[in-house]
Structure 1
């Protein structure tokens, strides 16, 4: 066993997902992350989304005895969890509360740049979804919260300030709800009338408004009608897509040439940002298509290593069904 768990092996019939899982969170595609980031002794890595510390623990084990890791998370609960879990790593590890979109500044402030690898596991952690008091779940009664960290407004604060047109946009773009106007007005009407006190109240409003169609089109689906509404609200409150875009742009600024960045996304909006962002960083020219010759003098900053997104294999999906929507994309800095 390694310092923090089983040492990663290149060939293993069962994924290391459960080796680094805790009740707090189950990390996804651990083997693939370690392999693509080329984790090794003496190298330095940033885990932009520490969560329960699963990926962080795997990186420290695979890079033993001398790899160093800086982990970042917005959530004070996650910070406490990972600090306790990785206390045995000593000066090889440090954790900072912050937003991974600010990775360039955080690395500079901690004298931890450039690095050999940068990992982002976007989305909500298992703990945040499972703990009703965090307000992320539409199935359990919880407060109107949904904050990933104290740097965001609560859902109640957001609904008190948001304009109807903006809420319609959020539900349409981030939640991909067809009847966004109807749902937005119903939510605001219930909130202003003092009828929204918890997540189950919000779920009831959504169910009454959308009916059986998760996207509001009347068609029956396997997706609960509140799923996409909660997704849209969560993304808006935490500015998740802005954060992801900032992190993608920061890759060539924090990762050294030859180093790699691995990003895991969980829905089409996230994956689109990662895919297109990587493609832009890999372009040699950013001139308009109708320019006869290149005038920008730009050069590709990265090489895309995954022509298609990697997904979890059958063995991992059997262990962790939540991995089914995860997509992993990797670039190497030039």
Structure 2
């Protein structure tokens, strides 16, 4: 198919160091006479123009960013008046700090390989998760689509600290430093997780819920499920002092799900989560939210069109 590209660029992606890689991609597209339009996703005018855009069968919306940029774009379409069957096919040029979704779908970040593999790929339908957020003081529920990951407990606290400190920094290095900082101050509040099968009461170190193969700060720390589109939960219980070195080794060099005493991994169809505190921080696809209660499930009534690389 001869694509016409609409490129949504997040200038803050990758800590603000992504413009050079995007310029290389645009130069190659020009050399191959592939038409493109570029929009800055941080400008309000972009979303107004997008709302007036007519999407054709050969329109490919390219999200030049990371997991957070994909999250922003998909949720904009979800909240718009455009019916899902009229959404354009989408893909990502992975230049963000967190690129877990691109990693799952084997999308290369090298511009030459990206053009070769993605633009000769095929359109498939992708599953999305849906999260209902009950914020403190808000009588209604906020519905948010989840493209890849959700994290609470320690993961939520890290996302809260990262929220205002992205530009110009190495987010992955920040993530690791903040993980250490929060770990030594973490108080292990209780969370109650209710699935269609059981109730889990836990004072966890971290709870991570994935829709794709891996989650975790763009570093693919937590293996989820090999079958993309299923929800899987990884709960890391409060570790003993002697278990910490083993957990760190498995987190970065092995498979955290094999630490059976400290880690509980399971698949589910629907889960509600409540914390003992009034409101707790939540990370969804690298973006920061706050909630007093969550409901997480696969959004079975909605699919989005994605291009899988050849």
TM-score normalised by L of structure 2: 0.30
Larger Rg: 1
Instruction: Flag the structure with higher helix content.
Output: 1
Greater relative contact order (CA < 8 Å, ≥ 6 in sequence): 2
Instruction: Flag the structure with higher strand content.
Output: 2
